[in-house]
Amino acid sequence: MSEEKRHTIQTQLLAWYGQNKRDLPWRKNKDPYRIWVSEIMLQQTRVDTVIPYFERFMKLFPTVEDLANAPEEQVLKAWEGLGYYSRVRNLHQAAKQIVHEGDGKIPSDKKSILKLKGIGTYTAGAVLSIAFDQKIPAVDGNVMRVFSRLFAIEEDIASGTTRKKMESLVERVMPEEAPGDFNQALMDLGATICTPVSPGCLLCPVRSVCEAYEKGMEEQLPVKKKAKPPVQQEMVMVFFQHQNLFIGEKRPEQGLLAGLWGLPTFEIPKGDHHLTIIEKFCKENRIPALNYIIKGEFQHVFSHRHWKVTVVEVELKNTGFDLPTSWSWLEKEKREEKTWANVYHKAFKTERKKV
């Protein structure tokens, strides 16, 4: 790479950022805790979605100590609807590490910060450069896209080796001064101008040194392998209820919607009928079901699974029987408080519909 190209990217990008940077709540100061929380929320998640969550989260847990001392239920609740829930479980765990095992401060060296759950190469670079002014790359999807175009890199950006290559490129281009601004400028450029489709090249501050623009291949880059299609699954969610009580299920600590409260959910084997599954389950577990009512169905798409969910109401004769360990009786009034993913809220909507 020529010295001229490096210089152009540095100066043009920083100048552009000075004029065009977005006014975002986590940019009000350089508090490492705020930067950290914002970076975790922003993983695979759009800025507009994150903003209200960030504001609420900071009111609830203004410092890392507040977060560490908060009950897990409250922390998970604050993340409700944001998705990728392992992020918040890791965040909470890391806060406890910092407060109870460390000195109560976010580590400012790469080796230590990478030991925290939920902080990988990208997030470490973002926090260290933005909050601690260290010259460390923060290569996310935006930066990969910008650099794959600037240098016409046709390798699959999903591969690990390509990302390493990008990191060393960014490292070479980064200025000594304002590394945090430089990283954020790259991300803002990727988010607002160097977009995945129909990029705004005519507005781009680094168009003059962009190889993809020169070759007219900005729409073809970056190269990214296609994800495989989601698995289709038929599910049943059940409202087991008796008087003002219903049964909630705490999901396993690992896997889909890990650790979240919701409704007992069953997968229907192909060719089976949903009521057959529920009836069999009740019989085997000596659950005193009085009747089964199909309330309706809805679709829910995860990144890698597609659920068709049938909602069933089961009236129970009494509460005097043993529940599976992950199930608990909850008050109906607390339904909305006790269910922490959008897929359950869809079930409530279906339930409230008239039959």
Partner DNA sequence: CACGCGTGGGG
Partner DNA sequence: TCCCCAAGCGT
Among 71, 101, 160, 216, contact with DNA (rule: CB under 7 A) = 160
> Interior CA angle at 45 toward 44 and 50, to 5°?
150
| Min separation Cβ 282 and DNA, Å | 26
Does 101 bind DNA (CB under 7 A)? Our answer is no
Assigned token pair, 309: 């969910």
Strand, helix or coil at 146?
helix
Is beta strand 265-267 parallel, antiparallel or unpaired with respect to 289-301? unpaired
Q: Residue 45, interface with DNA (CB under 7 A)?
A: yes
What is the closest distance, in whole angstroms, from the C-beta atom of residue 351 to DNA in the complex?
Answer: 17
- Nearest approach in angstroms of CB 258 to DNA is 6
- The number of residues in the chain equals 355
Amino acid identity of residue 49, one-letter, is T
Q: How far is the CB of 337 from DNA (least distance, A)?
A: 15
Nearer to DNA among residue 49 and residue 328 (C-beta): 49
Separation CA 344–CA 76 (nearest Å): 15
154 catalytic residue (yes or no): no
Q: Which stretch binds DNA (CB under 7 A): 44-52, 67-75, 104-112, 327-335?
A: 44-52
Question: Looking up tokens 């407060």, which residue turns up?
Answer: 99
For the CB of residue 143, give the shortest distance to DNA in the complex, in Å: 8
Decide if residue 354 touches DNA (CB under 7 A). no
**Three-state secondary structure call for residue 150:** helix
- Catalytic position from the list 3, 4, 39, 337: 39
**CB within 8 A of 71, min separation 6: which ones?**
none
- Does residue 269 contact residue 288 with C-beta atoms inside 8 Å? no
Could you give phi then psi for residue 214, rounded to 5 degrees?
A: -60, -40
> Which residues, at least 6 apart from 165, have a Cβ–Cβ distance to it below 8 Å?
153, 155
Of 262, 274, 340, residue with least CA distance to 81: 340
Establish if 29 lies at the interface with DNA (CB under 7 A): no
CB of 352 to DNA, least distance (A): 18
Tokens of 350: 């279906």
- Residue 255 engages DNA in binding (rule: CB under 7 A): yes
Residues in contact with DNA, shown as a per-residue x/- string from 172 to 211 under the rule CB under 7 A: ------------x--xx-xx---xxxx-------------
Pick the binder of DNA from 38, 129, 148, 265 (CB under 7 A). Answer: 38
Does 145 help bind DNA (rule: CB under 7 A)?
Answer: yes
Cβ atoms 261, 331 nearer than 8 A = no
Q: Which of 7, 56, 215, 304 binds DNA (CB under 7 A)?
A: 304
- Give the footprint of DNA on this chain (CB under 7 A): 22, 24, 38-39, 42-49, 81-86, 90, 116-124, 126, 140-142, 145, 158-161, 184, 187-188, 190-191, 195-198, 224, 226-228, 255-258, 300-305, 341-343
Active site (catalytic) residues = 39
